[in-house]
Structure 1
Amino acid sequence: MVPDDIFQYMGVVRLLHHFNWTWIGLFAVDDENGDRFLQILMPLLYQNRICCDFTLRTPKRTYTGDLINRISELLDKYTVLVKSKANVYVAYGTPTSMHALRMLVFEAEGALSLFPGKVWITTSQWTFESWTLQRIWDTQVFHGAISFTIHSNNPPRFTKFLQTINPSWAKGDDFIRSFWEEAFGCTLKHADEHEHEPCTGKESLESLPGILFEMSMSGQSYNIYNAVHAVARALHAMYILRANPRKLIEGWRMEFWNVQPWQVHHFLRSIQFNNSVGEMVRFNENKELVTVFDVTNWVTFPNSSFTRVKVGRLDPWASPGQELTLCADQIVWHTSFNQVQPISVCNDSCHPGHSKIKIEGEKFCCYDCALCPAGMIAEQKGKQGEEEFEKCIKG
């Protein structure tokens, strides 16, 4: 039910290519998943003539005792954020590592006095949802971020269901109890035993800032929702088969109440249905969920709230070259760019009559421009409005 991450990595490259961003910074969680991310993405970047100014590995957890020490170590490297010409940062990690990234940025901003405005590009694991300590942290540094999010939609009555959740449900459910107490700063136990006031039971999830709780279903939850319905339909098909003892599957008779997991595969393979939102749920010949990613623009506000704006889609099943569609004019950029499309290159393009000269020891995205010798002209490459002059040829 979870799309292969490689689709997102390809989407990141196509997004960079779309805006001609060739000089970027990379953040990857410091674990085997981050290793795989870099191992797959780096060759894709190189093939598309995109360079990385730096790569920083972020802690994978936010609750380890040595996190503060780790942050102090990383802050020494964060001066690169001020010196870098890259205006685009690509970040990958799990939700917990994203919490650590936010902490690192928060600390870096305090240590460096000014954290430069950037375009953050993130994978579907990105979320603004924070633990309670981070609710007071400024989210403006991530204003205008772009992420590939697993497509989702709110099932009927989902919002109403969230509006009915009450702390009385906490009986036997430690998750609701601990979340309720942390989110609303109250206690569900006797107030005289704790420093917090007792919860009234009238608290509303809608009143919480988006960084603590969103009233819409996430892409991961939407996939779980569809998974439950897929299995339910598969079991229903098995039940119908059991009700007709004449039907056989590959030579064996089904005993419905003694179902083995491998027996469900036969039915799941052919599952295809419209869910309660009216969207098709099906698998391809490789047993992969056929789905798309939404390209989401995150617009943040000073009160720690935010809104998601869908500005495009990434469809891995589309025709080659048509996978990414964007409404670029709808994207809100970080305020430091004054709503002008950001530029993220190591060098400005060479002017007509000049060619690129490699700088020894630098990456190929960085170069000098030299005047062509007499009798030669610069060879023009690229689309109109995106001209590049790479080498001198005979005129």
Structure 2
Amino acid sequence: MVPSEAYQYRGIVHLLHHFRWTWIGLLAMDDDYGNQFLQTIVPILTENSICSAFTFRLPKATYMEEMVEQMTVKLAERYPDLMDRKTNVFYLYGQPPVMMCLRLIFCLSSFTSLPPLSKVWIITSHWDFGSFAFQDFLDAGSFHGTLSFTVHSNQPPGFQEFLQTIRPFWAEADGFIQPFWEQAFSCSLKHKLEKICTGEEKLESLPGTFFEMHMTGYSYNIYNAVYAAAHALHNINIHGSKQRRLAGGGRLDVQNIQPWQLHRFLQRTLFNNSAGESVRFDKNRELVTVFDLANWLIFSNGSFARLKVGKLDPFAPSDNQLTLNDDQIVWHRGFKQIFANKNKMLQQFYGSILA
């Protein structure tokens, strides 16, 4: 149910071509995931006339002391590459540990005479700013204007109403709701010596960095996975007696079906979910879905906003798969100035030719 990264890489190429960005920097963790990413993306970029100015390998997350030491050395060695004026776009393959490394980069640079990075960040769908608290992030503004292909999501009917009715005392045995409630609202459900939770606190009052009131892309995939399994079981119930027999000749018992017995029916699944969207799989039995292009706005108080500024549709013709609303994109302030200067130079150049 997780969309193939191949579709995402295709979208990256469309995005880079759209803005005529042919000279970019690549950043990835120095591990197997990072190796696989670079081995895959570099040939794709080369085939599409896009060059990588440098490759920055971020050290793996180990002990904090070791990471600080490694990042200090690496920062001194590679910061000139990051500051190169010819490279205004960084493509970051972001597994969650990458955030730790980047926090160190921005933290260390803020204590030195190194200038801030005014670049455009393009990040993969593994990354979600909502998964990290930015309140203690010393230079979160470096990510202002970031672009990312996020897993598409929609809002199933009744989801907002459901969130508004959640209360911490629903299930005493639940291992998540009560600890989350206490942490989110800084209160206690049990200890009377602390601020007492009333149980009537509102989730919508929480900042977006702590809890989003809209269904995220990965939650939407789980939602669709449940529906896919339900449709497969339904098809087994209707057609099982004709399509599948147990070794003893009896009918397939839906109540006692094994997970592997669903595979044959899952790969043929095609349905519309309750949000009105089609769910289908390709020939490799991977989910084919739309990616949303998000523009991330990071504010000084640690809050953020995610604006949808386009989408990548694998079902569309190759030259129309990416649609963008350029005027809605908010760029990093430093890059915006560079972008404006380049446009001015191009206008002057073409104006002189036409004259």
The TM-score, its normalising length taken from structure 1, stands at 0.76
Q: Distance in 2 between matches of 1:128 and 1:207?
A: 19
Q: Distance in 1 between matches of 2:262 and 2:34?
A: 33
Q: Where does residue 141 of structure 1 map in the other structure? A: 142
Alignment partner of 1:72 is 2:72: yes
Change beyond 3 A, Cα 1:336–1:170: farther
The equivalences for 1:270-349 within 5 A come to: 270-338=268-336, 341=339
Q: Where does residue 58 of structure 1 map in the other structure? A: 58
Q: How far did 1:249 drift?
A: 1.1
Question: Deviations for 1:83-119, whole angstroms, at most 9, x for unmatched residues?
Answer: 5532211111223433543443344334346422211
Whether the aligned pair in 2 keeps the contact of 1:135 and 1:212 (CA below 8 Å) is no
Q: How far did 1:54 drift?
A: 2.6
Q: Distance in 1 between matches of 2:327 and 2:26?
A: 25
Question: Deviations for 1:111-166, whole angstroms, at most 9, x for unmatched residues?
Answer: 3464222111111112112555x424353221111100111111112122222333
Q: Secondary structure at the match of 2:87?
A: coil
Question: Deviations for 1:47-88, whole angstroms, at most 9, x for unmatched residues?
Answer: 333232332223554886744444434433453233553221
Q: Where does residue 362 of structure 1 map in the other structure? A: none
Whether the aligned pair in 2 keeps the contact of 1:6 and 1:40 (CA below 8 Å) is no
Q: Secondary structure at the match of 1:26?
A: strand
Q: Where does residue 46 of structure 1 map in the other structure? A: 46
Q: How far did 1:220 drift?
A: 1.1
The equivalences for 1:107-256 within 5 A come to: 107-112=108-113, 114-132=115-133, 134-137=134-137, 138-169=139-170, 171-190=172-191, 192=193, 197-241=195-239, 247-250=241-244, 252=246, 253-256=251-254
Q: Where does residue 258 of structure 2 map in the other structure? A: 260
Gaps of 5+ in 2: none
Change beyond 3 A, Cα 1:93–1:10: same
Whether the aligned pair in 1 keeps the contact of 2:245 and 2:252 (CA below 8 Å) is no
Whether the aligned pair in 2 keeps the contact of 1:274 and 1:281 (CA below 8 Å) is yes
Q: Distance in 1 between matches of 2:160 and 2:127?
A: 22
RMSD: 3.1
Change beyond 3 A, Cα 1:269–1:50: closer
Change beyond 3 A, Cα 1:129–1:83: same
Whether the aligned pair in 1 keeps the contact of 2:244 and 2:252 (CA below 8 Å) is no
Q: Percent identity?
A: 50
Letter in 2 for 1:121: I
Q: Where does residue 30 of structure 1 map in the other structure? A: 30
Q: How far did 1:328 drift?
A: 1.6
Q: Distance in 2 between matches of 1:110 and 1:257?
A: 63
Question: Deviations for 1:278-313, whole angstroms, at most 9, x for unmatched residues?
Answer: 111122333222211111111233332222222221
Change beyond 3 A, Cα 1:302–1:223: same
Q: Secondary structure at the match of 1:27?
A: strand
Q: Secondary structure at the match of 1:311?
A: strand
Change beyond 3 A, Cα 1:142–1:279: same
Q: How far did 1:225 drift?
A: 0.5
Letter in 2 for 1:93: G
Matched pairs, number = 343
The TM-score, its normalising length taken from structure 2, stands at 0.84
Rg larger in 1 or in 2? 1
